[in-house]
């Protein structure tokens, strides 16, 4: 279901250190943006049937909302259809001590009630092309009914379907479930043993058994252990050829064989390990579950599993992505899995903690397969296909429409932000490297629901302000000007008592002051009070840290320890004003207790620390040349051992240590964000994790995305570029 939830939105950085190497003219391209285009063949039919057009009336809009609610409910309560193949095998299990009585008569009843009009069983949708999965399911159900001498008419219609489509079993171009040549031929053996006669040529049946012989004799890829695991996975197709004692080595804690109902049922049928009946009992009553991830701690465990045998890259990718979401730094299981599964190229480039949801959603929309495309392109099956209750075409249409609508909103918000930049006169500051589009992207890619508009605006405004102020303290302001700005922010409403040392300071202060007051006023209906003091305080901590760093640079002072450096560098990273402002608009009312809580302060420190360390690891070489200090250089100096060892070795050791600290901070942050309870409401906590993800995305080491062109391309993908989606003409016209 990962693909589904990643294309639909869930209703519910970006600091002064953002990239700044961007042509100034880039910010204007969104004002000249052409109307949004979506490349969809047959789109007119889609819009007509679901009311997804730009000019849809109220009735059509209501249809869309109803369909959206329906799909959201289905996504929250995902239910897969029973597998006809597995159900048939469970139906063949007899009562212990009485081989003439079925243990699970409800499975037999299900089989008789779920035969399709054409005589088949399985995920056979109207108009679908017959595939090997449908043929396998149909044969299994026919054998199960014959096993108990019931459903004569069902058997007859099933045999007729098999006879008409038997050629599919021989077609090497047709998508096949894993182990089909073994499982299908095994069922044929059972069928002939019960006296069933198929309306097919004997030569065709012989051909199936010849394919089975080749499958059993071939020297397949994978290790010997993975080959044994694979053969245990398809045990039901082997019958008397299987070493059933060996199969029991693959029994899970829930007493199943590979969580496979068919393999587990076959094990019971062949008289081995009656404890497996407990699994089948729980399965039939819908109370079963899997073992977890501990089985894959070692790479050899994966290589020797059926996933390794099948070269299942998707399973490997999911293992790696799961290993990246660790709340405990010493979670050894996930740590070990991450260390060996990292050979997945995509996951290496885009670890989960550096992915931005809106970019992922767009990618998944564009790669999403409708039922028609799946029929044409085929899809990979395990032993049998399951079908959810959700129609893929409906999901795609709603996702396209939602993305289409949101881009229109994003483009308008970006225009408003460009107007704000001009109104605050920030564009008059020659040193300011303004990037509204890239900065706004950090908000739109994480806080994308329409109801978070004010949060996106506040986030972006403060990102732009902190970036500009950071440039000012990095050397474009004099010491007198910097001290003047800090005093003005400290005085806040009393700034008239101090005055401005320059026009530059005046522009900066009023941009911060007026924008903060406007944000606080907009938040009053939600917060039931004016919280501008909290925004002002976050700015005070930020500029105080920036001034300390500037004084170190001007005085050529080098902090004696990393800890001394971080005492200023954490606050100066400037996450405070961004998150504090955005948090006012994400929903919950934030009391004084929340802002003063140890939890809120700790979350802020962790987010700032993550940003500072990521920035230092990317910029330490440049900053050393500029005479600035950072954590990498200080750690290398403090651990150089009085000149022992090369500078290069000391620097590499410093980077390794800072990466370890970074990982620990990320684990601590995720644990705080995801834990139950706490003073800070969950929607506000999520902002800190969004910030962490944005920062990891921005500061990906030695990556194209760290360039101005790379970041602009990502911003365009979310805000401007049309979706590249193709719906076949029959897409939604049949709904």
Class of 394-718 per CATH?
A: mainly alpha
pLDDT: which is higher, 680 or 23 = 680
φ and ψ at residue 26, rounded to 5 degrees: -60, -30
Flag whether pLDDT at 435 surpasses 70. yes
Strands 98-102 and 94-95: antiparallel
Tokens of residue 596, six digits: 């003063």
Average pLDDT rounded to a whole number, residues 109-130: 82
Strand partners, 333: none
Contact of 20 with 467, CB cutoff 8 Å:
yes
- Provide φ and ψ at 257, rounded to 5°: -100, 105
Rounded-to-integer distance, Cα 317 and Cα 297, Å: 15
> Which ranges in 270-386 belong to alpha helices (H)?
276-284, 299-303, 306-309, 313-323, 332-341, 345-349, 357-367, 371-377
- State the pTM of this model: 0.66
DSSP code of residue 723: P
Instruction: Tell me the C-alpha distance between 274 and 251, whole Å.
Output: 12
**pLDDT of res. 612:** 94
Please indicate whether residue 478 or residue 175 has the higher confidence score (pLDDT): 478
Whole-angstrom distance, CA of residue 409 vs CA of residue 51: 19
> Are the C-beta atoms of residues 104 and 93 closer than 8 Å to each other?
yes
- Token duo for residue 352: 């989960």
pLDDT band for 382, please (50, 70, 90 cuts).
low
Closest CA to 253 of 276, 224, 280, 226: 276
pLDDT at 451 exceeding the cut of 80: yes
β-sheet bridge partners, residue 95 = 98
Residue 535, pLDDT > 90, answer yes
**Dist. CA 383–CA 78, nearest whole Å:** 21
Count of Cβ atoms closer than 10 Å to residue 474 Cβ: 17
Q: Tokens in use for 225? A: 């252990």
Per-residue pLDDT at 551 exceeds 60: yes
Question: Does pLDDT of 611 surpass 50?
Answer: yes
At 144 the pLDDT is 95
Cβ within 8 Å of residue 527, ≥6 positions away = 584, 589, 590
Element (H, E) at 387: none
Domain limits, the chain = 84-285, 295-393, 394-718
Tell me what pLDDT residue 38 has. Answer: 37
Calpha distance 599→613 (Å, rounded): 21
Is the model's pLDDT at 691 over the cut of 90? yes
More confident residue, 30 or 698: 698
C-beta of residue 337 within 8 angstroms of C-beta of residue 297: yes
The rounded distance, in Å, linking the Cα atoms of 66 and 661 is 48
Q: How far apart are CA 414 and CA 714, in angstroms?
A: 15
Share of the chain above pLDDT 90, in %: 41
Q: Please, which pLDDT band fits residue 243 given cuts at 50, 70 and 90?
A: confident
Give pLDDT, residue 383.
67
Structure tokens at 654: 């410093």
> How many other C-beta atoms can be found within 10 angstroms of the C-beta atom of residue 514?
12
Mean local confidence (pLDDT), 137-153: 94
Q: What is the mean pLDDT of residues 221-245?
A: 83
Report which of residues 446 and 274 the model is more confident about: 446
CATH of domain 84-285: 1.50.10.160
Long-range contacts of the stretch 217-226 (C-beta < 8 A, 24+): 220/309, 221/309, 221/311, 222/303, 222/308, 222/309, 222/311, 223/303, 223/304, 223/308, 223/309, 225/300, 225/303, 225/304, 226/303, 226/304, 226/305, 226/306, 226/308, 226/309
Q: C-alpha distances in angstroms, 280 versus 68, 203, 429?
A: 36, 37, 72
CB 146 within 8 A of CB 196: yes
pLDDT class of 10 with cuts at 50, 70, 90: very low
Beta strands in 9-165 (DSSP E): 94-95, 98-102
Closest CA to 279 of 405, 328, 287: 287
Dist CA 599 CA 168 (whole Å): 62
Mean pLDDT of the chain: 78
Scanning the structure block, which residue is given the tokens 């369909």? 67
Inform me whether the pLDDT recorded for 218 exceeds 90: no
User: DSSP letters of 594-624?
Assistant: HHHSHHHHHHHHHHHHHHHHHHHHHHHHHHH
Can you spell out the DSSP letters for 620-658?
A: HHHHHHTT---HHHHHHHHTS-TT-S-HHHHHHHHHHHH
Residue 1, pLDDT > 50, answer: no
Most confident of 136-150, 238-252, 372-386: 136-150
Question: Which pLDDT band holds residue 289 (cuts at 50, 70, 90)?
Answer: very low
Report d(CA 412, CA 456) in Å as an integer. 12
**Contact present, 406 and 681 (Cβ < 8 Å):** no
CB 582 within 8 A of CB 447: yes
SS3 content of the chain, % helix, strand, coil (to 5): 65, 0, 35
* The two three-digit tokens of residue 502, written as one number: 């320059």
- The radius of gyration computed from the CA coordinates of the chain, to the nearest angstrom, equals 31
Residues 6+ apart with CB under 8 A from 283: 90, 256, 261
Please check the confidence at residue 634 and state whether its pLDDT lies above 60. Answer: yes
d(CA 465, CA 432): 10
Query: Is the pLDDT confidence value at 137 over 90?
Result: yes
**pLDDT, tens digit, for every residue of 179-209?**
899 999 999 999 988 889 888 899 888 988 8
Residue 14: per-residue pLDDT: 31
Residues near 667 by beta carbon (within 8 Å), at least 6 away in sequence: 326, 327, 328, 329
End-to-end CA distance of the chain: 22
């Amino acid at each position: 279901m990962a693909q589904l939830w990643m294309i639909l939105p869930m209703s519910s950085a970006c600091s002064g250190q953002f990239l700044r190497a961007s042509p100034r003219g880039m910010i204007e391209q969104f004002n000249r943006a052409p109307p949004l285009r979506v490349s969809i063949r047959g789109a007119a039919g889609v819009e007509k049937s679901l009311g997804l057009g730009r000019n849809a009336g109220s009735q059509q809009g209501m249809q869309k909302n109803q369909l959206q609610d329906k799909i959201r409910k289905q996504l929250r309560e995902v239910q897969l259809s029973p597998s006809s193949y597995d159900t048939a095998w469970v139906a063949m299990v007899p009562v212990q001590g009485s081989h003439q009585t079925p243990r699970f008569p409800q499975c037999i009843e299900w089989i008789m009630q779920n035969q399709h009009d054409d005589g088949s069983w399985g995920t056979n949708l109207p108009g679908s092309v017959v595939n090997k999965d449908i043929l396998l399911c149909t044969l299994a159900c026919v054998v199960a009914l014959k096993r108990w001498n019931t459903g004569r008419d069902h058997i007859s219609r099933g045999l007729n379907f098999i006879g008409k489509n038997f050629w599919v079993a021989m077609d090497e171009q047709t998508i096949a479930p894993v182990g089909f040549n073994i499982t299908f031929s095994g069922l044929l053996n059972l069928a002939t043993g019960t006296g069933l006669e198929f309306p097919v040529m004997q030569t065709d049946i012989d051909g199936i058994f010849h394919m089975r012989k080749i499958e059993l004799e071939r020297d397949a890829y994978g290790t010997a252990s993975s080959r044994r695991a694979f053969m245990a996975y398809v045990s039901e197709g082997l019958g008397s050829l299987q070493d059933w004692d060996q199969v029991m080595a693959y029994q899970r804690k829930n007493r199943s064989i590979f969580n496979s109902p068919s393999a587990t049922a076959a094990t019971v049928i062949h008289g081995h390990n009656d404890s497996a009946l407990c699994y089948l009992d729980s399965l039939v009553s819908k109370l079963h579950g899997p073992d977890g991830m501990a089985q894959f701690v070692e790479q050899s465990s994966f290589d020797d599993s059926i996933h390794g045998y099948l070269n299942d890259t998707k399973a490997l990718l999911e293992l790696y992505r799961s290993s990246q979401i660790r709340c405990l730094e010493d979670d050894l299981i996930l740590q070990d899995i991450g260390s060996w599964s990292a050979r997945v190229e995509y996951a290496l480039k885009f670890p989960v903690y550096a992915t931005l949801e809106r970019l992922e959603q767009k990618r998944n929309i564009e790669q999403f397969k409708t039922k028609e495309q799946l029929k044409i392109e085929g899809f990979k099956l395990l032993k049998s296909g399951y079908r959810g209750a959700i129609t893929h075409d409906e999901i795609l249409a709603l996702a396209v429409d939602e993305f289409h609508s949101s881009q229109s909103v994003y483009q308008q918000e970006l225009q408003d932000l460009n107007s704000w930049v001009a109104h605050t006169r920030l564009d008059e500051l020659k040193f300011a490297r303004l990037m509204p589009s890239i900065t706004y992207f950090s908000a739109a890619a994480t806080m994308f629901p329409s109801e978070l508009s004010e949060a996106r605006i506040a986030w972006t405004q403060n990102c732009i302000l902190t970036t500009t102020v950071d440039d000012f303290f990095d050397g474009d302001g004099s010491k007198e000007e910097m001290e003047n700005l800090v005093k003005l922010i400290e005085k806040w409403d009393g700034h008239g008592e101090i005055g401005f040392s320059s026009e530059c300071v005046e522009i900066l202060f009023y941009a911060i002051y007026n924008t903060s007051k406007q944000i606080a006023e907009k938040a009053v209906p939600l917060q039931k009070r004016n919280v501008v003091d909290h925004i002002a305080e976050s700015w005070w901590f930020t500029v105080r840290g920036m001034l300390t760093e500037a004084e170190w640079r001007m005085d050529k002072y080098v902090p004696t320890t990393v800890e001394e450096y971080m005492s200023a560098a954490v606050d100066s990273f400037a996450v405070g004003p961004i998150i504090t402002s955005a948090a006012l608009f994400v929903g919950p009312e934030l009391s004084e207790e929340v802002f003063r809580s140890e939890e809120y302060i700790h979350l802020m420190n962790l987010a700032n620390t993550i940003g500072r360390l990521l920035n230092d690891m990317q910029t330490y070489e440049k900053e050393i040349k500029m005479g600035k200090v950072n954590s990498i250089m200080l750690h290398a100096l403090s651990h150089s051992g009085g000149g022992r060892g090369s500078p290069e070795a000391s620097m590499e050791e410093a980077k390794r240590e800072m990466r370890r600290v970074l990982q620990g901070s990320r684990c601590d942050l995720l644990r705080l964000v995801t834990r139950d309870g706490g003073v800070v409401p969950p929607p506000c906590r999520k902002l800190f994790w969004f910030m962490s993800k944005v920062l990891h995305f921005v500061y990906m080491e030695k990556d194209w995305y760290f360039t101005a062109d790379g970041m602009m391309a990502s911003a365009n993908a979310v805000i401007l570029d049309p979706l590249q989606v193709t719906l076949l003409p029959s897409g939604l016209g049949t709904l």
